[in-house]
Amino acid sequence: MQLKPLADRVVVRLIEAEETTKSGIILAGAAKEKPQIAEVIAVGPGGVVDGKEVKMTLKPGDRVITSKYSGTEVKVDGEEYTIVRESDVLALVE
């Protein structure tokens, strides 16, 4: 199955958070923060959203930072993805 986002939506796959701190302390599952860096998997076509023209600037393969608690989490074929609005993407990681 393939996800095709609509309008200004972007499908991202979160990149796993580090399991140890810089000082070498191993973090338990509950102590880890939700990762914010993600890889863009698919991008919607843009168009008119809420009365405004939206042109998509992201493309599949981009690495981005998303808002911490944004989006809808979905599971497809055993993989976990998050669907967010392009406006919930805070920065492009280069």
What CATH number is associated with residue 56?
2.30.33.40
pLDDT class of 70 with cuts at 50, 70, 90: confident
**pLDDT bracket for residue 1 (50, 70, 90):** confident
2 in a domain, yes or no? no
DSSP 32-83: SPPP-EEEEEEE---EEETTEEE-----TT-EEEE-TT-SEEEEETTEEEEE
Rounded CA separation 35/37 (Å): 6
Q: Is residue 3 part of a domain?
A: no
- Tens-digit pLDDT profile for residues 8-29: 999 999 887 555 566 766 655 5
Rounded Cα distance, 68 and 25, in Å? 23
Q: How far is CA 54 from CA 57, 65, 74, in A?
A: 9, 20, 24
In which domain, by residue range, is 32 found? 9-93
Provide, rounded to the nearest whole percent, the portion of the chain with pLDDT above 70.
Answer: 81
Strands 63-66 and 37-43: what pairing? antiparallel
The confidence score (pLDDT) of residue 17 equals 59
Average pLDDT over residues 60-68: 93
Residue 1 falls within a domain, yes or no? no
Tokens at residue 8, please?
Answer: 């200004």
How many domains does one find in the chain?
1
